Structure 1
Amino acid sequence: MNWKKLLCEKRRRGYSTSAVSADPRNEFQKDYHRIIGSASFRRLQDKTQVFPLDRGDFVRTRLTHSLEVSSFAKSLGQMIFRNIIRYREDSGLEEADIEKICSVLECAGLIHDIGNPPFGHFGEDYVRDWFRRNLPQMEYNGKKLNELLTPQMMGDLCNFEGNAQALRLLTKLHFLVDENGMNLTYPLLNTIIKYPVSSTGINKKSGNIKDKKMGYYYADKEIFEDIVSSTGAVDCRHPLAFILEAADDIAYKTADIEDAVKKGFITYPLLLSELRNTYAERCADDGEREEYSRAVEKLESYYSHALENGVSSPEQNAVQRWMIYVQGVLLKCAAFGFTSNYSDIMQGTFPKEILAVSHGNALAYALGDMAYRFVFRSKEIYKLEVAAGEIYEFLLSKFVRAAVLYDTGFESSAIEQRVMRFISENYIRAYRVNSQGKTETEKLYLRLMLVTDYICGMTDGYARKLYRELSGIE
């Protein structure tokens, strides 16, 4: 791969440049304004990051998380590529490319979660589980749905993925001018494709991170192939996808712990004890051990400093200060992980996360594991997820059953006809455009996708409100 192609300025729909010739922005900076002005981006303010249906105003939402990822990704881009130019690691990379790269990363951070459904990662899990349970039980024209749909169509639904939904939303569903969605640049779209495989290409045992999940649906195969052939990132990740992934990891791993301490899931003594006694042995070498030990000492020093200065909440103050320190450490480590593996990344053969091959690996693992053990597996979160599950079960059951017979020669019930009227006209229009000339099986698949499109576009508040209204709850 080379940066001339990786930073190509292609969009799905071209446009005349004569009217904007005086515009000093590069193409990727123009993407930024398209994104922040979009309704899809604004909806992230009412989508869960960790705590579904939470009424507090401190914890992160998808919007605040995306802003943090955007900031970290841009910073990483500056750190990494200035070093690459300084040490002449790539003769094809120019100083002017750094601004473009940072613009791509800044935008990618804003949209990396834009396809996620309501109620956090639990929502993704519930959609997958619902289709696995129900598709073999449902019929269309006398046949079970799982017998009608192709393996990839089944895989798309049963392995539903927010990453793939983001590509779909940005290229088709954000229907303003035409069927090309936001019409963003291909390098930006390629950067958010963390897993450049289809649902039938998922292989969690391959040893390559790119095969872990799917990155595009059968319905979006054409645009995916156009993107990767244009950038040159065929059968591998775009190099900037590694940086976006690291920025995402740093943002959520530090934020989850900070939010957990603020809400009382984790105390300062527990955090310090776990860091001292549970994770230090994960350090792979002296360099990683030194980085880890220094981080633990920093946490203790921040707490002592807060006590000495009479801070009203010394534990929370120490953790908040420590999180800023840890973010800086992990950013430095991620930059090293990328630059030290630059050749393999550019050849498309690097199989891991860049944080995993750095001195920050043990520290990053500790943060993620503590959040999982003390927050995600807590009774409080389980209660919120059970409530969210009731909403998903109701909405998926209502809309999927109505969608199966929609736009066919078969008569649906009066209720099913009314249910379909709730779906956004933009999504209906996108369905009609993309279903033209398709087979009956493909149309059935697209109708099922129409439901996931609609539900993924909902905010937490709208999903809850619609559930209550349609189920007759006051």
Structure 2
Amino acid sequence: MLNWTKLLNESRRKDRLKAVDISATANGRFEIERDYDRILFSAPTRRLADKTQVFPLDKNDSVRNRLTHSHEVATLARSIGLRLVYENEGIFCEAGSSQFLQRSIPALLAAIGLVHDMGNPPFGHQGEYAIRNWFVKNKPDIFGESDEGASDFLNFDGNAQTVRLVSKLQILNDQFGLNLTYATLAALIKYPVSTEGIDKEKWKKQGFFKSEAKIVAEVWEATGLSEGIRHPLTYIMEACDDIAYSVLDAEDTVKKGLASYYDLLRYLEKNCAEDPVAQGVVAAARKHSSEFEQGSLSPQELNDCSMQMFRVHAITAMVKAVVEQFSVLSNDFVGGQQIYKGIMSVSPAAKFCSVLKDFDMAYGFKHKSVLELELRGNNYIEETMDMLWVGIHGRLSKGFKSETPFGKYVYSRISESYRRIFSDPGNDLSVGYKEAQLLADAISGMTDSYLITLHSELKPLYDRHCS
């Protein structure tokens, strides 16, 4: 049985080294509130502005990137948190004062919403596929006959990289990363299993790497969680990601001219005509678009304004569904019950959300222009990994395979903090694992533009190196 007092643990890993306990507030803030600020001002958050959400390298500033997506997820999560603590505070019984709950719950949800994609590589999910494919092709060269740790990279996922970034890679002056509270660390672990715990019927991805397993175990002990048991607030963050993905990616698809607002309405009417949530949203949206049609708007303005109002009604309906469903299920979550497909899948908005995602896939993600850019991104990533590998492989072993002029140079182009962790004598992982992880760290930390620039810089040098 979980309890909210431990689930909202304000302590930090670094606190264990302090002689006295810290105050419950700092500069007028509760500790959990400080987590959002630490995430917001970190360099990896800023880099999200040049990482693909859906449409790579888009020149239209109004089309979302990974940072705008993350801010929108954070805002939705904070909004739901505010509704829960003001409308149904009893959910979090005996977890602290009303002031603590009213400030900490929304802040925690905003923090995990903002950070949830921090570990994603350039070019979105295509980047994850490219990294996995590279490791599949090069597994014998990296791990030899041993499979120790190989599955972490054959199943590489941005969620696990996020945990690594905030708990270790984002170095200040020690080994604690951003030193977030136990509550925030626990709630940002979207999949509460290691690679060995991946199950197509349960948690479909890993939530952390072998290299962070001890940290995650410490977080779980501090919050009362354990392998396979997700923090209840993670469900809200996941649902907000679903809302942003389904509604806002549809808006971007329309904004790019890959489909129209009327295409979207027709798709919904065809595929979920009997769904009450869809019916309500479509009816409200049509009422507004009919009013807009009476004005002097151009066809493009009419399309844009109508889509904006659709977004408002769709988000309102889906947020309402999540608030109500979490309120119903909160006691089950505290009792350890898991919903592997997420809270949205059992909410009144489940069908509506699913059909919107189908629309996004059919009209946006599978458009030939998107597929072409994804292919380019895939090639940039795999070729850059080939080049970086020259500088990484063998560096920790006798023989110094990477001690060539090109190897030395390309190694110097990797983040100094990542290299420090890689070469740390206290890092007791296998050489193959450490080499693979440095490569994954380096690629994941790049933005779309930086990756392309680095690729262009290194490719001529690499070709001469190989000749």
Alignment TM-score, normalising by the size of structure 2: 0.92
CA 316–230 in structure 1, closer or farther in 2 if over 3 Å, else same: same
The alignment status of 1:112 with 2:116, answered yes or no, reads yes
Corresponding residue for residue 278 of structure 2: 292
State the 1:112 CA deviation: 0.8
The alignment status of 1:125 with 2:129, answered yes or no, reads yes
State the 1:102 CA deviation: 1.2
The alignment status of 1:392 with 2:393, answered yes or no, reads no
| 1:418-429 equivalent positions in 2, closer than 5 A | 418-429=409-420
| 1:369-408 equivalent positions in 2, closer than 5 A | 369-408=358-397
Q: 1:148 aligns with which of 142, 146, 149?
A: 146
Q: 1:57 aligns with which of 56, 61, 66?
A: 61
Q: 2:357 aligns with which of 368, 372, 376?
A: 368
Corresponding residue for residue 46 of structure 2: 42
Q: What secondary structure sits across from 1:388 in the alignment?
A: helix
Corresponding residue for residue 438 of structure 1: 428
State the 1:290 CA deviation: 2.2
Residues 56-99 of structure 1, C-alpha deviations (whole Å, 9 max, x = no match)? 211111111111111110111122233333xx455434523232
Corresponding residue for residue 13 of structure 2: 12
Corresponding residue for residue 294 of structure 2: 308
Corresponding residue for residue 465 of structure 2: none
CA 90–11 in structure 1, closer or farther in 2 if over 3 Å, else same: closer
Corresponding residue for residue 327 of structure 1: 315
Corresponding residue for residue 245 of structure 1: 238
Paired amino acid for 1:326:
A
The alignment status of 1:234 with 2:234, answered yes or no, reads no
Q: Distance in 1 between matches of 2:427 and 2:91?
A: 49
Corresponding residue for residue 262 of structure 1: 255
Q: 1:76 aligns with which of 77, 80, 83?
A: 80
State the 1:404 CA deviation: 2.0
Paired amino acid for 2:259:
I
Corresponding residue for residue 280 of structure 1: 273
Q: Is the 8 A contact 2:4 2:92 kept in 1?
A: no
Q: 1:92 aligns with which of 83, 91, 94?
A: 94
Q: CA RMSD in A?
A: 1.9
State the 1:12 CA deviation: 1.6
Bigger shift: residues 258-267 or 289-298: 289-298
Paired amino acid for 1:388:
G
Corresponding residue for residue 165 of structure 2: 169
Q: 1:182 aligns with which of 178, 182, 186?
A: 178
CA 190–63 in structure 1, closer or farther in 2 if over 3 Å, else same: same
Q: Is the 8 A contact 1:46 1:459 kept in 2?
A: yes
Q: Is the 8 A contact 2:325 2:347 kept in 1?
A: yes
Q: Is the 8 A contact 1:12 1:180 kept in 2?
A: yes
State the 1:301 CA deviation: 1.5
Corresponding residue for residue 464 of structure 1: 452
Residues 31-74 of structure 1, C-alpha deviations (whole Å, 9 max, x = no match)? 22222221111111111111112222111111111111111101
Q: Distance in 1 between matches of 2:138 and 2:431?
A: 19
Paired amino acid for 1:369:
D
Q: Distance in 2 between matches of 1:34 and 1:333?
A: 31
State the 1:303 CA deviation: 1.6
Q: Distance in 1 between matches of 2:256 and 2:460?
A: 33
Paired amino acid for 1:301:
K
Q: What secondary structure sits across from 1:69 in the alignment?
A: helix
State the 1:242 CA deviation: 0.4
CA 18–245 in structure 1, closer or farther in 2 if over 3 Å, else same: closer
Count of residues paired in the alignment: 449
Residues 426-451 of structure 1, C-alpha deviations (whole Å, 9 max, x = no match)? 11112233x52626xx1320121011
Q: Is the 8 A contact 1:7 1:187 kept in 2?
A: yes
Bigger shift: residues 345-354 or 364-373: 345-354
| 1:191-210 equivalent positions in 2, closer than 5 A | 191-205=187-201, 208=202
Q: Distance in 1 between matches of 2:239 and 2:12?
A: 26
State the 1:423 CA deviation: 0.8
Q: Is the 8 A contact 1:311 1:317 kept in 2?
A: no
Q: Distance in 2 between matches of 1:18 and 1:380?
A: 53
Bigger shift: residues 302-311 or 232-241: 302-311
Residues 288-330 of structure 1, C-alpha deviations (whole Å, 9 max, x = no match)? x322211111222222111112222212210111101111110
Instruction: Flag structure 2 segments of 5+ consecutive residues without an equivalent.
Output: 462-467
Q: Distance in 2 between matches of 1:58 and 1:392?
A: 26
Q: Distance in 1 between matches of 2:270 and 2:57?
A: 34
Q: 1:452 aligns with which of 425, 430, 440?
A: 440
Q: Distance in 2 between matches of 1:415 and 1:446?
A: 21
CA 17–41 in structure 1, closer or farther in 2 if over 3 Å, else same: farther
Instruction: Flag structure 1 segments of 5+ consecutive residues without an equivalent.
Output: 140-144, 282-288
Corresponding residue for residue 408 of structure 2: 417
Q: Is the 8 A contact 1:280 1:362 kept in 2?
A: no
Q: Distance in 2 between matches of 1:400 and 1:135?
A: 12
Q: What secondary structure sits across from 1:56 in the alignment?
A: coil
Q: 1:222 aligns with which of 185, 207, 214?
A: 214
CA 99–339 in structure 1, closer or farther in 2 if over 3 Å, else same: same
Q: Distance in 2 between matches of 1:201 and 1:192?
A: 18
Q: What secondary structure sits across from 2:190 in the alignment?
A: coil
Q: What secondary structure sits across from 1:212 in the alignment?
A: coil
Q: Distance in 2 between matches of 1:387 and 1:18?
A: 50
Alignment TM-score, normalising by the size of structure 1: 0.91
Q: Distance in 2 between matches of 1:300 and 1:22?
A: 49
State the 1:400 CA deviation: 2.5
Q: What secondary structure sits across from 1:105 in the alignment?
A: helix
Q: Is the 8 A contact 1:179 1:430 kept in 2?
A: no
